[in-house]
Amino acid sequence: MRAEHIRLFEGERVPRYTSYPTAPHFSTGVNGEEYAAWLAALTPEARLSLYVHIPYCRQLCWYCGCHTFITRRADRIAAYLAQLEAEIDLVAARLPAVMPVIHLHFGGGTPSIIGARGMERLLGHLRKRFAFLPDAELAIELDPRMVDGELVAALAEGGINRASLGVQTTDPRVQEAINRIQPVAQVAAVVARLRAAGIDHISVDLLYGLPHQTVATVRRTAHEILALAPDRAAVFGYAHLPRLKRHQSLIPEQALPDAKARAAQFEAIAESFERAGYVAIGLDHFARPGDSMARALAERRLRRNFQGYTTDPADALLGFGSSAIGELPAGYVQNHADLRHWRREVLAGRLPVARGLRLRATDRAIRVVIEQIMCFGSVDLDRIAAVQGVARPLLAPNEERMQRLVALGIARFDGTRITVPPENRPLLRLVAAAFDRYLEPGTQRHAVAI
Ligand SMILES: C[S@@+](CC[C@H](N)C(=O)[O-])C[C@H]1O[C@@H](n2cnc3c(N)ncnc32)[C@H](O)[C@@H]1O
Ligand code: SF4
């Protein structure tokens, strides 16, 4: 990456576009009653994706940017589980039928904190309210420090077929600086255990830009993880926002790499995975060529949603649990992130929606443009306008931004087709931002995540 690109990284505060419009633009103009109407309007045959959020962890990782709370109290977790089931019932009651599910994702926090019995119970409850399709993908985020034989058996028994492991780094000094001690042997043992139980689709999350990380440490981490032959890796840049996430002030700032060093670290990890034969996907993913995500990319079926890149082909995504986000044909909804608010609404028999966004026709068309840029690094504006039934001028990029991107060689634009060369993959979101009608110049509302 050239120096001016690195400066762009530093200066631009653009979203990661896991949705369009992005979550900071959701408003209280959408409430639980409107969500109920959106649920009722779904066609009974539409395939659903379910996201279930468990917002608890045992110990705080100081870099953490997720919606989570630290607890050791089993009664809190049991109460949350019961309320989650109540929310599932509230949503299911508003659907037009027992609807088919093609995708399920448990995220957090640490979903495995509910334990083997909790998992059996939750999966059993979901199976009562929804019709899981035989080829459905059932995925869970796992903290390798919180996985035992009993849990793995319950996951396998419950039909979980993909696990994504939070690894971040294998370097002991970095682990100490982020308060997450996790020897690589522990990760290897969990991978072996999952595979032995038949859960053989394994993804790993890695981070760069952490304190004391260098090109040498990330190369070693990539090498140690490649030895475990995961099917996929997600490689995220540490987003340091101590004003929003107070505990991040425990991270030693003087040990954080600068933008240039971060870019070099990403490139080193990318090189390690690509040399090992992995396919680079979108902004930050790598997959073995036979993996379903690599195939989805090759067949232009790859999608992007709140969980990042996905092969999920569902028509609607329903979110359960505090802070969970749903994506329906009519628009987006987000549950209360504050646990007390979320619980109060569920216990009162109301859908616990805090905010959302109703999609307009132009939003929908631009959403497709942005999703294709983020997934494929290319888009044909004439084609999208025709398929989406909107006037072509409505899809025009911001002229000044596009001129800058073209002048810097970040993107090519022939008047209808945008192409981002593969080496500029980390800059995809700058190209997507040229279409974002909600992006105010100089806005500080979005996190710099790279
Ligand atoms: C909910 S966690 C994964 C599951 C489990 N809690 C764990 O940590 O093992 C989701 C992922 O978000 C990423 N993440 C967390 N905080 C981040 C931050 N501040 N910046 C960038 N990525 C972050 C990490 O890679 C993490 O694995
Ligand atoms: S990174 Fe994962 S385990 Fe660590 S605090 Fe955040 S959600 Fe919990």
Instruction: For 274-324, write each residue's pLDDT tens digit.
Output: 999 999 999 999 999 999 999 999 999 999 999 999 999 999 999 999 999
Q: Which ligand is nearest to the CA of 190?
A: 1
Q: In the prediction, which pLDDT does 446 show? A: 40
Residue 207, C-beta contacts closer than 8 angstroms, at least 6 positions apart? 63, 168, 169, 213, 235, 236, 237, 238
Per-residue confidence at 447, pLDDT binned at 50, 70, 90? very low
Give the pTM: 0.95
Residue whose CB lies within 8 A of the most ligand 1 atoms, among 175, 236, 450, for a mutation test: 236
Q: Which ligand is nearest to the CA of 108?
A: 1
Question: Is 283 in contact with 16 (CB distance < 8 Å)?
Answer: yes
Q: In the prediction, which pLDDT does 292 show? A: 96
Q: In the chain, what percentage of residues exceed pLDDT 70?
A: 95
Average pLDDT over residues 39-43: 98
Q: Kindly state the DSSP code that residue 254 receives in the 8-state scheme.
A: G
Q: Please determine, for residue 6, whether its predicted confidence score (pLDDT) is greater than 60.
A: no
Give residue limits of the domains in the chain: 1-22+360-450, 23-319
Q: Could you read off the pLDDT of 377-435 as tens digits, one per residue?
A: 999 999 999 999 999 999 999 999 999 999 999 999 998 999 999 999 999 999 999 99
Per-residue confidence at 443, pLDDT binned at 50, 70, 90? very low
Average pLDDT over residues 51-68: 97
- For atom 1 of ligand 2, which residue has the closest CA? 64
Residue 393 CA to ligand 1 center (angstroms) comes to 39
Is the Cβ atom of 107 under 6 angstroms away from ligand 2? no
Average pLDDT over residues 231-256: 96
Q: Please determine, for residue 231, whether its predicted confidence score (pLDDT) is greater than 80.
A: yes
- What's the chain's average pLDDT? 94
Residue 98 CA to ligand 1 center (angstroms) comes to 33
Q: Which residues line ligand 1 (CB under 6 A)?
A: 63-66, 107-110, 141, 143, 166, 168, 205, 207, 236, 238-239
Is the Cβ atom of 66 under 6 angstroms away from ligand 2? yes
Picking from 160, 84, 124, the residue whose alpha carbon sits closest to that of residue 323 is 84
Residue with structure tokens 């983020």? 374
Residue 113 CA to ligand 2 center (angstroms) comes to 11
Query: What backbone phi and psi angles, to 5 degrees, belong to 145?
Result: -75, -10
Q: Please determine, for residue 42, whether its predicted confidence score (pLDDT) is greater than 50.
A: yes
Per-residue confidence at 101, pLDDT binned at 50, 70, 90? very high
Structure tokens at 48: 């659903």
Q: In the prediction, which pLDDT does 439 show? A: 86
Average pLDDT over residues 216-231: 98
Q: Could you read off the pLDDT of 162-182 as tens digits, one per residue?
A: 999 999 999 999 999 999 999
CATH architecture assignment, domain 23-319: Alpha-Beta Horseshoe (3.80)
Q: Please determine, for residue 11, whether its predicted confidence score (pLDDT) is greater than 80.
A: no
Sheet holding 279-281, edge to edge: 279-281, 285-287, 232-237, 201-208, 162-168, 131-142, 100-108, 48-54, 316-320, 325-328, 331-335, 353-358
Q: Could you read off the pLDDT of 318-332 as tens digits, one per residue?
A: 999 999 999 999 999
Query: What backbone phi and psi angles, to 5 degrees, belong to 102?
Result: -105, -15
Residue whose CB lies within 8 A of the most ligand 2 atoms, among 66, 245, 247, 307, for a mutation test: 66
Residue 66 CA to ligand 1 center (angstroms) comes to 7
Q: Which ligand is nearest to the CA of 187?
A: 1
What CATH number labels 1-22+360-450?
A: 1.10.10.920
Q: In the prediction, which pLDDT does 14 show? A: 87
Work out the widest C-alpha separation in the chain, in whole angstroms.
60
Average pLDDT over residues 177-200: 98
Average pLDDT over residues 136-146: 97
Is the Cβ atom of 141 under 6 angstroms away from ligand 2? no
Residue 205 CA to ligand 1 center (angstroms) comes to 7
Q: Kindly state the DSSP code that residue 425 receives in the 8-state scheme.
A: G
Residue 165 CA to ligand 1 center (angstroms) comes to 10
Q: In the prediction, which pLDDT does 10 show? A: 46
